[in-house]
């Protein structure tokens, strides 16, 4: 019994010491001084100590190797992150160049469209002027035709009257004095008829002119009413489109804020604080740039990180709406 306790006690002490050494090495503690010599133990205890020291050395080497492996993996991870960041930068630069090219093409297209619209308007004005000239020329032709017909009728009647009078004068020369009063009466009547006819012709001319003036005035009034109606319709359409576009912009701004809020990492120190952020977007929602304009530093850092994490933000496929929101200012306020 005495021999067994003499062996067990040193073994227990050795095991406890080596377990403590393993814990210290695992925590990274290094002791440069040599430990004080232990009291001499029996042969079985010395053998146990040597075995435990080999296990400790193996465990320490394993821990060191795991640390080296972890450092190597971290270096590889950092290198991969740098490579991806460089690729993202190059992609943004290519996309910015493409956006610039598309913007130039869009402006050129707008210029060509504006020129085409102006040419169309000029052609329409010219066509309207030609139409008005044709209408006026037709009215003038009809008036002259009417005047010519009246003159021909008057000339024919006068010729017939002269023939009758000449025949009557030749036949009644012998009794001229007897018929003189009758001839005078007929002449006065003819004069009265001619005056009446002249008055009728003058009235017909005046009526025709008044009718033409009334038609021209009616056409001008109709054209003015059509122009006023078109202008009112275009103004109403423009107002409706502006309201719709503003509504679309508000909707997508709310979606962008919601996206940023989902990626926002908050803490209690941010409660009640805000940050104003300016974001520039590509037409597919890619975040070209983001800058803070003022606010709590912690909230601003969290907002920029949330935007970077999102990568893309919601944008409208409508080019007109996109032009209104490609550069927007947002107020980011953490929610709890």
pLDDT tens digits for range 230-286? 766 666 666 767 777 788 888 999 999 999 999 999 999 999 999 999 999 999 999
Summarised one tens digit per residue, pLDDT across range 200-220 is 888 888 887 788 788 788 777
Give the pLDDT of residue 17: 54
Residue count (the chain)? 336
CA-wise closest residue to 288 among 329, 331, 327, 248: 327
Summarised one tens digit per residue, pLDDT across range 35-68 is 444 444 444 444 444 557 888 888 888 888 999 9
The mean pLDDT value for 131-149 works out to 86
CA-wise closest residue to 335 among 251, 239, 271, 259: 271
- Looking from the CA of 310 toward its CB, the CA atoms found within 13 Å total 28
Summarised one tens digit per residue, pLDDT across range 84-96 is 888 888 888 888 8
Give the pLDDT of residue 24: 52
pTM of the model: 0.33
Express as a percent the part of the chain with pLDDT over 90: 20
Strands (E), 156-281: 275-281
3-state secondary structure of 328: strand
Summarised one tens digit per residue, pLDDT across range 299-314 is 999 999 999 999 899 9
- Beta-bridged to residue 328, according to DSSP, are 279
Q: CA torsion sign, 118 to 120 to 121 to 125?
A: positive
Q: Does 10 have pLDDT greater than 50? A: no
Give the pLDDT of residue 172: 66
Give the pLDDT of residue 237: 60
End-to-end Cα, the chain, rounded Å: 70
**Which residues does 252 contact at the CB level (< 8 Å), separation at least 6?**
314, 315, 316, 321, 325
Q: Which range has highest mean pLDDT (3-17, 121-135, 196-210)?
A: 121-135
Q: Does 18 have pLDDT greater than 70? A: no
User: 48-74 burial by CB neighbour count: b if 16+ within 10 A, else e?
Assistant: bbeebeeebeeeeeeeeeeeeeeeeee
**Do residues 263 and 310 make contact, with C-beta atoms less than 8 angstroms apart?**
yes
Give the pLDDT of residue 158: 81
Consecutive H or E run containing 226: helix 176-263
Token pair of 318, please? 């409508």
Q: Does 167 have pLDDT greater than 90? A: no
The mean pLDDT value for 161-169 works out to 78
Q: In what order do the strands lie in the sheet with 287-295?
A: 287-295, 275-281, 327-332
**Do residues 314 and 258 make contact, with C-beta atoms less than 8 angstroms apart?**
no
Express as a percent the part of the chain with pLDDT over 70: 78
Give the pLDDT of residue 112: 87
Token pair of 79, please? 């290198």
Token pair of 84, please? 């991806």
Query: How would residue 297 be classed by pLDDT, with cut points 50, 70 and 90?
Result: very high
Give the pLDDT of residue 22: 53
Give the pLDDT of residue 8: 43
């Amino acid at each position: 019994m005495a021999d067994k306790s003499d062996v067990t006690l040193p073994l227990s002490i050795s095991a406890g010491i080596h377990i403590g050494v393993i814990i210290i090495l695992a925590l990274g503690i290094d002791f440069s001084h040599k430990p004080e010599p232990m009291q001499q133990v029996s042969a079985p205890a010395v053998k146990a100590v040597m075995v435990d020291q080999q296990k400790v050395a193996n465990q320490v080497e394993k821990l060191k190797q795991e640390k080296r492996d972890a450092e190597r993996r971290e270096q590889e991870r950092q290198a991969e992150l740098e490579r991806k960041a460089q690729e993202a930068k190059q992609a943004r630069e290519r996309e910015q160049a493409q956006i610039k090219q598309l913007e130039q093409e869009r402006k050129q297209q707008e210029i060509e469209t504006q020129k085409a619209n102006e040419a169309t308007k000029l052609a329409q004005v010219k066509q309207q002027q030609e139409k008005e000239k044709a209408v006026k020329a037709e009215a003038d032709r009809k008036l002259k035709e009417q005047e010519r017909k009246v003159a021909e009728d008057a000339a024919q009647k006068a010729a017939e009257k002269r023939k009758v009078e000449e025949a009557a004068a030749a036949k009644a020369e012998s009794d001229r004095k007897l018929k003189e009063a009758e001839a005078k009466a007929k002449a006065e009547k003819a004069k009265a008829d001619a005056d009446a006819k002249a008055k009728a012709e003058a009235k017909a001319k005046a009526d025709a002119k008044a009718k033409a003036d009334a038609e021209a005035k009616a056409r001008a009034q109709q054209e003015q009413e059509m122009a006023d109606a078109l202008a009112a319709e275009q103004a109403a359409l423009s107002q409706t489109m502006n309201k719709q576009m503003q509504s679309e912009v508000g909707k997508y701004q709310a979606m962008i804020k919601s996206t940023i809020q989902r990626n926002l990492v908050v803490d209690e120190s941010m409660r009640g604080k805000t940050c104003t952020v300016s974001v520039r977007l590509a037409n597919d929602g890619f975040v070209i740039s983001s800058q803070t304009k003022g606010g709590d530093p912690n909230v601003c850092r969290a907002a920029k990180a949330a935007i970077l994490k999102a990568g893309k933000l919601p944008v409208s496929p409508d080019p007109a709406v996109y032009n209104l929101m490609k550069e927007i200012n947002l107020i980011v306020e953490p929610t709890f």
